[in-house]
Structure 1
Amino acid sequence: MDLDALRALIVADSATRGQPISKLGYFCAPFRPATGPFADKVIKVYRGLNDDAALDRLARCHDDYAAALRTAGVPLPVTEFLLLPVEGRRVPVIVQEALPSETMMRPLMQSGSRAQTIEMMESAGDVIATFWNNADQFHTRIGFHPSIRNFAIVDGRAVFFDTFPPLIHYSREEMGKMLLQFSDKALMRWVGPFLQKKVTGIQDEWYSPAETLVGLVGSACRLRPDDAGAYLEWGRDFTRRRMTRWEDEALLGMVEPPRLPGYWTGFRKLLGLQGEPNL
């Protein structure tokens, strides 16, 4: 990898490096260069820290997390984490093999027929169930954030591509602080410490097998409310087929269309994300 070219791309203006491919991100706005050696990559640049030990730990945890996802059977594009020296400080950067824009699950869910969207839900659900049924082997705190917008559908198969923050090894309290440290929104970093308990709670569904599935169903229901009944029916059936270990909790969460917690919708409005929810 040409690190000098990558460094130049990161410090270049947006017209040179390419427009963001998504503005929905909480931690950064990923971009894909239109030309050059990284034209087949998505680049994600995160806030740096002044704590070298914390950055080194972040790099180790990311490598462990990507390896764990693959070991657990999660399809993941080639993904590399770097601590790139930029203007005197090390900046966390992820360089990931780009997936075709037309494979992103969120817009496909918006444009597809009901039957097509249920097929996509089945593909994403398969990844969720496969991960959690294989996660016991890691013997460490590990989570998963399988939201609709963190999947692509490639040849009928769901591919997951979100590896930040690395949901492995960190305690609940540590992850709660990371949600503020690495937020791309200055307002969140300013207001968040006063609401640390609420911010920390954002992560809880990522560490709950039942809640990750319920979250997927809830996202689909909010995206296409007219089809909510069909998605609830699919979610309950999928639970009984593939996630029986967590059946009671998951079914309880799908009695009616799941809703986002009030504090998270409040944060979204505060950050100007209303209308484009982090599904």
Structure 2
Amino acid sequence: MTDLDALSQLIRSDAQARGQTISRLGYFCAPFRPDSGPLSDKVIKVYRGLRDVAALERLHQCHDDYVDALLAGDVPMPQTEFHLLDLDGAKVPVIVQEALPVDSLMRPLMQDAPVEATLEMMEAAGQVIARFWHWAEAQEGRIGFHPSIRNFAIIDGGAVFFDTFPPLIHYSREEMGRMLLTFSDKRLMRVIGPLMQRRVTGIQDEWYSPAETLVGLVGSACRLRPDHAAAYLDWGRDFVGREMTPWADEALAGLNAPPKLPGYWTGFRKLLGLQGEPNV
């Protein structure tokens, strides 16, 4: 278990003392990895604190349940802990996760590898997606998955998923829509978001659709390597026929051409400076 006193001290320290910021473009936080000390083999993710203790306790339970669900769905993951720390008069959600090698992150690998190698990575990620949804099909309640290219690492040829926030379990669609604003690290989003709550709420819909998660993966690959879009579309159509037959018709309808992000989400991303960096 994590030393919570050491964790609290680390979070209170200034940015230089914390260590390496892994990504500055995350929607919910900027994860960092300490350069030294007892947590140097961890990635730390600090989210916005709240004074609503009941909401945070529910968040904690939902996160624990979500990690359990991902593991039950045979989704490979690094060791992940969720903590609520008392910092500056508020309880702050913190995720401590086993650090993955930086050179294993799928997005930069996809940018530089030959097309044949990128298709192998897509197959590895697709297998994780298919396994999860075949498992989830037999579960009760609302559960989602956000298996984008930036949320995977490739280790020993297999895909490892590392994004557990927000926990896509138990919350209703409306509750998750509000959460997308409540925990956004971008003040601008918290200010303008409520004016477009309906559109913000719609961001999550892809995460709860088996077909759309696979289409989204293919769309990310097509945008990342547009010269190879035809190869990724061919792979996607073949994959859903092999591995995701219950959702094949819906997925195939989205794979006639390179999938595009919804216009409102593209606008949000540009406004907030989110350009698809790895969300470690």
Residue 127 of structure 1 corresponds to 128
Q: CA RMSD in A?
A: 1.1
Greater RCO (CA < 8 Å, at least 6 residues apart):
2
Residue 108 of structure 2 corresponds to 107
* TM-score, length-scaled by structure 2: 0.97
Shift of residue 24, structure 1, vs aligned partner: 2.6
The structure-2 alpha-carbon separation of the partners of 1:12 and 1:163, relative to structure 1 and needing over 3 Å to count, comes to same
Structure 1 residue 2 and structure 2 residue 3: aligned?
yes
Distance 1:33 1:111 in 2: 27
Deviates more, 1:131-140 or 1:230-239: 131-140
Structure 1 residue 82 and structure 2 residue 89: aligned?
no
1:199 counterpart SS class: helix
Identity of aligned residues (%): 72
The letter of the residue matching 2:41 is D
Residue 142 of structure 2 corresponds to 141
Shift of residue 242, structure 1, vs aligned partner: 0.2
Distance 1:137 1:252 in 2: 24
Shift of residue 88, structure 1, vs aligned partner: 2.0
The letter of the residue matching 1:4 is D
Residue 98 of structure 1 corresponds to 99
Shift of residue 277, structure 1, vs aligned partner: 9.1
Residue 215 of structure 1 corresponds to 216
Distance 2:161 2:112 in 1: 20
Question: Residue by residue, what CA displacement relative to the aligned partner does 1:185-234 show, whole Å, maximum 9, x if unpaired?
Answer: 00000000000000000000000000000000000000000000000000
The letter of the residue matching 2:64 is D
Question: Residue by residue, what CA displacement relative to the aligned partner does 1:30-71 show, whole Å, maximum 9, x if unpaired?
Answer: 100010000000000000111111000000000000000000
Distance 2:133 2:211 in 1: 9
Residue 266 of structure 2 corresponds to 265
Kindly indicate whether the alpha-carbon contact (under 8 Å) linking 1:205 and 1:212 is maintained by their aligned counterparts in 2.
yes
1:42 counterpart SS class: strand
1:48 counterpart SS class: coil
Residue 175 of structure 1 corresponds to 176
Kindly indicate whether the alpha-carbon contact (under 8 Å) linking 2:43 and 2:99 is maintained by their aligned counterparts in 1.
yes
Distance 2:168 2:275 in 1: 25
Deviates more, 1:10-19 or 1:143-152: 10-19
Residue 230 of structure 1 corresponds to 231
Distance 2:139 2:93 in 1: 25
Kindly indicate whether the alpha-carbon contact (under 8 Å) linking 1:68 and 1:138 is maintained by their aligned counterparts in 2.
no
1:187 counterpart SS class: helix
Distance 2:115 2:11 in 1: 40
Distance 1:274 1:246 in 2: 29
Kindly indicate whether the alpha-carbon contact (under 8 Å) linking 1:268 and 1:277 is maintained by their aligned counterparts in 2.
no
* TM-score, length-scaled by structure 1: 0.98
Instruction: Give aligned pairs, total.
Output: 278
